[in-house]
Amino acid sequence: MNKTIIKLVMTILMFGLMKIDFVSSTTVDELKKLIENATIEANTYEFPTDARKFEAKDDKIIELGSYDFVIIGGGVAGSVIASRLSEIRRWNVLVLEAGKVEESEFNEMLGYTAFLALSDLSWGFSSVPQTTACLGFLNQTCRAYRARGMGGTSLMNGAVYERGMPSTFDEWAEITNDPSWSYKHVLPLFKRSEDFHLRNPNTPVERKYHGTGGPLNVEQKVPQDFVASLFLQGHRELGSDIVDYNGHTQLGASIFQLYTRNGRRQNVYEAFLRPVSQRRNLNILTKSYVTKININKKTKTAKGVMFTRNGQTYYVRANMEVILTAGVFQTPQILMLSGIGPRKHLREIGIDVIEDLEVGSRLKEDPLCQALYITTNMTKPVETLEEQLRDYLRGVGTLTQAYSTSGVAFQRSQFEEQNYADIEFIAASLDKSDFDVAYAGWKNEIYQAAWGDNTNAIAINVHNVNPRSSGTVRLRSASPFDFPLIDFNMMSDPEGHDMEVLFEGVSRVFDLMQTPAFRSINPQYKGSPLPGCENHQFLSKAYWFCFLRQTCTAANHVRGSCPMGSNPNQGAIVDSRLKVFGVRKLRVADSSVMPTSMSGHPTATIIMIAEKAANTIKSDYHHMHPFH
């Protein structure tokens, strides 16, 4: 056979193996049924208050033998690590995941992302009542959404692909005293995971920062919509650059890069692990809820993992290591349940202390302030659901992006001393909706006042993506079936820095409204004074401070509950090789380990951390199995 024929045959074979998205056999009617179903489910969803449904029926413990690596949590990080470690055929790898493998096509429709948070995919956490943020939400709590299932929270997130500022990683190298975390060294890991496809040439792309051929498809929404064009033009007029925010700098305006494939959600399990799930050395146990890591108290060595499944308790040993990737709330929860945590707290709860570390003491979350609704004289193009779905089946249009978002801009406030972006703006074209009230948990009177008399608007969300405030994750009790206590404590730093940054964000939204681009649609802020803020002169600085404390909630970019660093006496939980200080054969490798904010959306960076964890483990064992 000549080369062309071989190539042709290869192409045909490859196509056979690929999931063909363009020629979807699903019909508009089938999608409509899925939407109806999810709407009913979301409208009747009740938030669970604990994880008792995972409790065992008796005290019997079933021994399950041993694996070389036991990975706790098959989420974003867990899926990547399981995929990379099982490349070594002599290692056998077990993944324990509380949820299941998601099969519904509904999950792929990014336009309905918010519905997924009010479904059985959701863990259903909320923060404890807050005093400095989330005041306009039921019981003064912020929702703390996380998904359960293979792929973890990538099953219900916005699929925004964003890496943060390059200098972030140089700072991580300094904090950990390990140059391998510097941007120069982690960039190849970002690129290795990526399969970048240019589908929308309206914003620049710096090719040398992007990878092709990796497991994760990255693309932009097609086509660009009116709000995105307006947003970009307004920023141009303010002197902002239009950038590839994953290129040499994040600072500027852009449209989102998404890890979707032809406009459909591609969760991280599907991208990294499903294609190799037939490997004989890889075992994935779903519906398995981990309750504890067994650690030998004398040798301080992780021995194995306890979990429940279908009402029974199991114990599995780890020959080489236990790798904890249960996410930013449950990773610290499991560590504390296993005796690793702040001594005083564990004693109060009644847990034997094995290693005294400040687990859960530096939780970081970004405040997301999303109630700046701007009324315009623009009539929204009318699209029927039929039309939207038909577009969707071709991989384009409204339903291929979450939360109706359009443009994005990363900026530096006057308070940012280094070169990080600390404010992120996101534009979204929104209608007033009861569903939004249920999703965010708004107090209805606050939501209604923020909208005023309007029914649709362009919202410009303001995030502080480099906040100084931090919060905690603690145990409610010694029971693994109680939810952890989550206290975001946002906008609480004593200097008031975070509030000033957000206020500057609000001012800049009003600057944007003054640009010729925005003036052409006659933008007006028509919110009414919020209940609780009437004492302040409407639209004064004091009013906006009050407004922000009412309307800012959690951006779901939580991180840092078990930060890496070089010194456990300064709050570090893991070293630069992601090993837990003072304990052998135990690593943490998910969003919990991020030592600083990374100015943006965390998933791409978590994937990089997981890639690096797998590389480190391979090099620690020289790819060798200890028993051969």
Ligand X SMILES: *[C@@H]1O[C@H](CO)[C@@H](O)[C@H](O)[C@H]1NC(C)=O
Ligand Y SMILES: Cc1cc2nc3c(=O)[nH]c(=O)nc-3n(C[C@H](O)[C@H](O)[C@H](O)COP(=O)(O)OP(=O)(O)OC[C@H]3O[C@@H](n4cnc5c(N)ncnc54)[C@H](O)[C@@H]3O)c2cc1C
Indicate which residues carry an active-site annotation.
Answer: 557, 601
Residues with Cβ within 8 Å of 394's Cβ and at least 6 positions away in sequence, in order, are: 22, 263
Residue 399 binds ligand Y (CB under 6 A): no
Q: How many residues bind ligand X (CB under 6 A)?
A: 10
Residue with Cβ nearer ligand Y (97 or 422): 97
Annotated binding site: 153, 157-160, 290
* CB 301 within 8 Å of CB 319: no
Residue type, 324: L
Whole-angstrom Cα distance, residue 468 to residue 452?
32
74 makes contact, choosing from ligand X, ligand Y, none, with CB < 5 to 8 Å by partner type, with ligand Y
Q: What is the dihedral of CA 160, 164, 166, 170, to 10 degrees?
A: -130
* Least distance between ligand Y and beta carbon 77 (Å): 4
Q: Candidates 130-138, 146-154, 206-214, 526-534: pick the segment binding ligand Y (CB under 6 A).
A: 146-154
Task: Give the nearer residue to ligand X in terms of CB position, either 43 or 619.
Answer: 43
Q: Please pick, from the candidates 138, 222, 349, 353, the single residue that binds ligand X as defined by CB under 6 A.
A: 138
What's the CA angle centered on 172, arms 168 and 173, to 5 degrees?
Answer: 120
Residue 412 binding ligand Y, by CB under 6 A = no
Choose from ligand X, ligand Y, none: what does 37 bind? Cβ within 5-8 Å by kind.
ligand X
What token pair was written down for 290?
Answer: 């981990």
Under rule CB under 6 A, residue 118 binds ligand Y: no
* Contact stretch for ligand Y (CB under 6 A) within 178-186, 190-198, 319-327, 357-365: 319-327
What is the spatial distance between Cα 165 and Cα 410, in angstroms, rounded to a whole number? Answer: 10
Which residues make Cβ contacts (< 8 Å) with residue 515, sequence separation at least 6? 233, 234, 237, 238
3-class state of residue 393 by DSSP: helix
Of 288 and 550, the one with the shorter C-beta distance to ligand Y is 288
Q: Tell me which of ligand X, ligand Y, none is bound by residue 602, counting a contact when its beta carbon lies within the kind-specific cut-off of 5 to 8 angstroms.
A: ligand Y
Does 366 help bind ligand Y (rule: CB under 6 A)?
Answer: no
What does the alpha-carbon distance between residue 24 and residue 354 come to, in Å, rounded to a whole number? Answer: 53
30-49 positions binding ligand X, by CB under 6 A: 33-34, 37, 41
Q: Which part of the chain contacts ligand Y (CB under 6 A), choosing from 82-90, 325-333, 409-417, 426-434?
A: 325-333
In the 3-class helix/strand/coil scheme, how is 340-388 assigned residue by residue?
EECHHHHHHHCCCCCEECCCCCCEECCEEECCCEEECCCCCCCCCHHHH
**Closer to ligand Y by Cβ: residue 123 or 544:** 123
Could you tell me the two tokens for 619? 């090099």
Q: Which of ligand X, ligand Y, none does residue 377 bind (CB under 5 to 8 Å by kind)?
A: ligand X
Which partner from the list ligand Y, ligand X, none does 437 bind, CB cut-off 5 to 8 Å by kind? none
Minimum CB separation of residue 367 from ligand Y in Å reads 15
- Contact by Cβ (8 Å): 412, 590: no
Residue 260 contacts which entry, ligand X, ligand Y, none (Cβ below 5-8 A, type-dependent): none
Binding mask 514-553 for ligand X (x = CB under 6 A): ------xxx-------------------------------
Least Cβ distance, residue 117 to ligand Y (angstroms): 6
459 is a site residue for ligand Y (CB under 6 A): no
Segment near ligand Y (CB under 6 A); pick from 28-36, 75-83, 175-183, 424-432: 75-83
Q: Are the beta carbons of 101 and 149 closer than 8 angstroms? A: yes
The SS3 assignment for 333 reads: helix
Q: Is the Cα torsion angle 3, 7, 10, 16 positive or negative in sign?
A: negative
Residue 505, token pair as written in the block: 């964000």
- 90 in helix, strand or coil? coil
H/E run at residue 289: strand 288-296
Dihedral, 533, 537, 540, 546 alpha carbons, nearest 10: -10
Is omega for the bond preceding 595 within 30 degrees of 0, making it cis? no
Closer CB to ligand X, 52 or 90, in the complex: 52
Between 160 and 323, CB nearer to ligand Y? 160
From the list 62-70, 148-156, 213-221, 425-433, the region that binds ligand Y by CB under 6 A is 148-156
DSSP track, 299-311:
TTEEEEEEEEETT
Q: Write the secondary structure of 146-181 as one string of H (helix), E (strand) and C (coil).
A: CECCCCHHHHCCCCECCCCCHHHHHHHHHHHCCHHH
Q: Tell me how far, at minimum, the Cβ of 430 lies from ligand Y, in Å.
A: 16
Interacting span for ligand Y (CB under 6 A) from 22-30, 68-76, 81-89, 341-349: 68-76
Q: For tokens 């308070």, name the residue.
A: 415
Please give the torsion angle defined by the CA atoms of residues 589, 185, 618 and 302, in that order, rounded to the nearest 10 degrees. -30
Nearer to ligand X, 187 or 378 (CB): 378
Tokens 């074979």: give the residue. Answer: 13
Size of the site for ligand Y (CB under 6 A): 40
* Selected range binding ligand Y among 25-33, 157-165, 168-176, 533-541, rule: CB under 6 A: 157-165
Which one among 11, 27, 43, 139 touches ligand X, defined by CB under 6 A? 139
Is the Cβ–Cβ distance between 589 and 613 less than 8 Å?
Answer: yes
Assess contact for 230 and 460: CB atoms under 8 A. Answer: no
Binding-site residue numbers for FAD are 153, 157-160, 290
Q: Work out what residue 163 binds among ligand X, ligand Y, none; the CB cut-off runs from 5 to 8 Å by kind.
A: none
Q: Which does 138 bind (CB under 5 to 8 A by kind): ligand X, ligand Y, none?
A: ligand X
| Cβ nearer to ligand X, comparing 42 with 228 | 42
Q: Which of residues 521-580 bind ligand Y (CB under 6 A)?
A: 556-557
Residues 351-380 that bind ligand X (CB under 6 A): 377
- Summary count for the chain: helices (H), strands (E): 17, 26
Choose between 121 and 253: whose C-beta lies nearer to ligand X: 121
Residue 563 CA to residue 574 CA, distance in Å, equals 7
Minimum distance from residue 133 beta carbon to ligand X (Å)? 16
Binding site for ligand Y (CB under 6 A): 72-78, 96-99, 117, 145-146, 148-149, 152-154, 156-160, 289-290, 325-328, 330, 334, 556-557, 590-591, 601-603, 606
Binding site for ligand X (CB under 6 A): 33-34, 37, 41, 138-139, 377, 520-522
